[in-house]
Structure 1
Amino acid sequence: MSSPTKEIADTQNTELSERQTRILEYLRDQAPEQTYFKSRLIAAELELSSKEVGANMPIIQQAATHLEIEKWGYSSGTTWKVTP
């Protein structure tokens, strides 16, 4: 049986780091209920810094994640629009 990280890497042909996988899983879990995410709030949920989230989002965005991720706004921190 494959680990979630391995499955994500295999299906997307892109190897994501442990942090990127955690962020991606968080977004997948929350996307059906929420559309807009602030980096600082993702960071707080995952015990990361908002800089770590912001640095990893473009990599997640480029991976074939079955989520559409757009950088949306910058007021009081970066906001990401996520749609399944």
Structure 2
Amino acid sequence: MSPETAPSDPTPEVRRLPAKAQPLVGYLRSRVREEGAFYVKSRFVAEDLDLSAKEVGAFMRRLQECEEGPAVEAWAYTNGTTWYVSARE
């Protein structure tokens, strides 16, 4: 696991996500830290993390419900869900 995808001290709520979701949380945090808020499709994240787009979408939906970790919002649906990811305020 590269430093970019390694979870950085996950919060208790984020730790309750499946172990397979932890690299996604680290990936999203890293991108938000480096780029600020961004839009992304599940399939592009899946390519970077060696997950399926379906797995990424399911984990993103669960992250939407978390009050900790990166803020995730389903933004649009065109050939797959587009997600808006930002830092929590």
Instruction: Name the count of aligned residue pairs.
Output: 79
TM-aligned CA distance change 1:9 to 1:17, over 3 Å: farther
Over the matched positions of the two proteins, sequence identity in percent amounts to 37
Pairing partner for 1:8 from 10, 18, 28: 10
Letter in 1 for 2:64: Q
- TM-score normalised by structure 2 residue count: 0.74
Uncovered stretches (5+) of structure 2, i.e. residues with no partner: 1-6
Give the aligned CA root-mean-square deviation in angstroms. Answer: 2.1
C-alpha distance in structure 2 between counterparts of 1:65 and 1:41, whole Å: 23
**Which of the numbers 64, 68, 79 marks the counterpart of 1:61?**
64
User: What is the one-letter code of the residue matched to 2:68?
Assistant: T
Give the TM-score normalised by structure 1. 0.78
* Structure 1 runs not aligned, ≥5 long: none
- Counterparts of residues 1-84 of structure 1 (less than 5 Å): 4=7, 7-10=9-12, 12=13, 15-32=16-33, 33=35, 35-84=38-87
